[in-house]
Amino acid sequence: MMRENVKKMNLEYVNNSALKAMKALPKEIALQFATDLQRVQEGKSPLSDFKHLKGIGQGGVIELIENGSPAYRAVYCAKYEDTVFVLHAFTKTTNGVDRAAMKTVEERYKAMMAEVNARKKQKKK
């Protein structure tokens, strides 16, 4: 059996707050999301439920979903720089959209795009 040599994507947290948010989740949830992110790095689909977030970015922002009481979410973007950027992780305590969490995701997405654009400029030099 021949094995393809697939390049693994990098994994980066957009900032220390995103990393702290992931570490603040219950251990088993954080481990589950870490496994999902590793699968994404390898070009595979996450095992957790997921959905594309509309209105943030251009279709590249994905929310990992673990429903329950409470529910948990992790949000990432794997569209740029051969990198999986982790934007946020949080405990969802409201029904419907968690507006505060989505505001955080939007802000971190903007910061991520600024970094992506800075790297592109650096590569052109």
Question: Which pLDDT does position 97 carry in this prediction?
Answer: 87
Domains, the chain, ranges and CATH? 10-124 (3.30.2310.20)
The answer to whether the CB of 21 falls within 8 A of the CB of 90 is yes
Question: Which pLDDT does position 4 carry in this prediction?
Answer: 56
Question: Which pLDDT does position 3 carry in this prediction?
Answer: 52
pLDDT in tens, the chain (125 residues): 445 566 799 999 999 999 999 999 999 999 999 999 999 999 999 999 999 999 898 879 999 999 999 999 999 999 999 999 999 999 998 888 899 999 999 999 999 999 999 998 888 86
